Amino acid sequence: MRLERVEEGVFAIVEDVSERAAVMTSSSQMATLVDFAADAWFVHDMEGCIRDANPWAASSLGYTREEMLALCVADFEATIKPGRMDGVWNRMEIGKPISVTGRHRRKDGSEFPVSVRLGLFETADGEVLMLAICHDITELKATEERLAALNEHLEEEVARRTEQVRHALAERQAIVDNLADGLVACDLGGRVQVANPAANALLGLALDPGAAVASLPAPLLEAIGIAQGSAAWWTCSWSSPRGASPRAS
C-alpha cells in the first residue's frame, strides 16, 4: 500500500491486491473441489461440534447443511458414545494425520462403514480444529465378506476332499493288507513301495516302504527284470513260498 499524488493537492492510497486476489482465487478453487468431492469432509472442534461440512457430508447422512452444522460427531458416528469425545483426538498432533475406521449413522437410523482420515490444523486465530475426510466402504466390506465366505467354503471343500482321499487310501490299504496272496510293488528306482503282510510272511522278510529291491528272493528278482522293461511301476504277487513263480505286472 502506498500514497500517490493524483493531482495538485489530491492524494490517493494505492494498494496492490494481486497477492490477495491470488489467495482468494486459490481458496475459491479449493472450496469448489471440496464441494464436489465424492467423500464427506467435516471440520469440527475438539468437543466434536461440527463447524463446517461439504454438501456430500450432509447428503450422505440425510441432513441439510444447516442441520449438519447443528450436530456433533457423536450424533452420527456410531462408535463414539454421546457426551464423550473420541480418546484418539487427544493423542493426535498437528501435521500428523491418522487413518481410522468407523460407522456413520444416517438421520433415518441406518448405518454404514467408513474409513476416516483425521488431521489437526490451527486456524489464523490459534484455534485447533479437526478435519475428517470420510469414505464410504460399504462395497469394500461386502467384498471382504464375500471373500471370507468363499475362503471358508474352499477350506470346507478341501477338508471334505482330503477326508475322501484319506478314506479311499485307508480302504485300499485294508484290501492290500487282507489279501491272501503276497503283494510287493516297487518303483524303477529299485525301492519297495508296498509290501503286504502276506508277502512278508511268505518271504520271511520285513519289507518296509523304501527297502531296496536287492533284498528280495532270486525268483522274484527274475520276475522284476521282466517287468522293468515296460513299466514305471510294477507289482509281483504269489500264493506260496515254494514251487510257484511270482507273477509280475
Q: What is the pLDDT of residues 98-153, one digit of tens each?
A: 888 999 999 999 999 999 999 998 888 888 899 999 999 999 999 999 999 999 99
Least confident of 47-56, 82-91, 179-188: 82-91
CA 239 – CA 180 distance, rounded (Å) = 7
Distances 129 to 32, 94, 125, 147 between C-alpha atoms, Å: 21, 10, 11, 39
Which grid cell is 156? 470346507
pLDDT over threshold 60, residue 241: no
Instruction: State the pairing for strand pair 192-195/128-136.
Output: unpaired
- In terms of residue numbers, what domain contains 62? 37-136
146 inside domain: yes
Question: In this structure, how many other beta carbons lie within 10 angstroms of the beta carbon of residue 195?
Answer: 22
Asked if 44 and 62 sit in the same domain, the reply is yes
Average model confidence (pLDDT) across the chain: 76
Instruction: Please report whether residue 115 resides in a domain.
Output: yes
CA separation for the pair 205, 182 (Å, rounded): 12
- Whether 100 and 188 map to the same domain: the answer is no
Q: Is residue 16 part of a domain?
A: no
Give the tens place of pLDDT for each residue, 194-228.
888 887 887 777 777 777 777 666 666 666 554 55
Asked whether residue 242 falls in the same domain as residue 171, the answer is no
Q: How many CB atoms lie within 10 A of CB 160?
A: 10
Give yes or no: residues 243 and 199 share one domain. Answer: yes
Whether 136 contacts 57, CB under 8 Å: no
| pLDDT for residue 163 is more than 70 | yes
5 located within any domain: no
pTM of the model: 0.54
The pLDDT of residue 5: 46
User: How far is the C-alpha of 242 from the C-alpha of 204, rounded, in Å?
Assistant: 12
Domain closes at, from 82, 112, 136: 136
Residue that terminates a domain, selected from 178, 205, 238: 178
191 vs 178, 184, 186, 219, CA distance in Å?
Answer: 22, 10, 6, 17
Domain for residue 228, yes or no? yes
Q: Give the confidence band of 184 by pLDDT, cuts at 50, 70, 90.
A: confident
- The cell numbers describing 126, all together, are 490459534
Quote the pLDDT of residue 25. Answer: 45
* Sequence-ordered list of residues with C-beta below 8 angstroms from that of 142, at least 6 positions apart, any chain: none
Give the C-alpha separation, 226 to 231, whole Å: 10
Give tens-digit pLDDT for 40-54. 989 999 888 999 998
Is residue 218 a part of any domain in this protein? yes
Q: CA-to-CA distance for 38 and 234, rounded, in angstroms?
A: 69
Using an 8 Å Cβ cutoff, are 133 and 116 in contact?
A: yes
Q: Are 99 and 115 in contact (CB under 8 A)?
A: yes
CA distance between the termini of the chain? 108
Q: Say what the pLDDT of residue 155 is.
A: 93
117 occurs within a structural domain: yes
**Secondary structure (3-state) at 17:** coil
Q: Kindly tell me the sign of the dihedral angle through the C-alpha atoms of 76, 78, 82, 88.
A: negative
Helix (H) or strand (E) holding 134: strand 128-136
Q: Which cell numbers in the block locate residue 154?
A: 474352499
Q: Summarize the confidence of residues 81-92 as an average pLDDT.
A: 69
Give domain status of residue 4, yes or no: no
The three three-digit cell numbers of residue 16, written as one number: 496492490
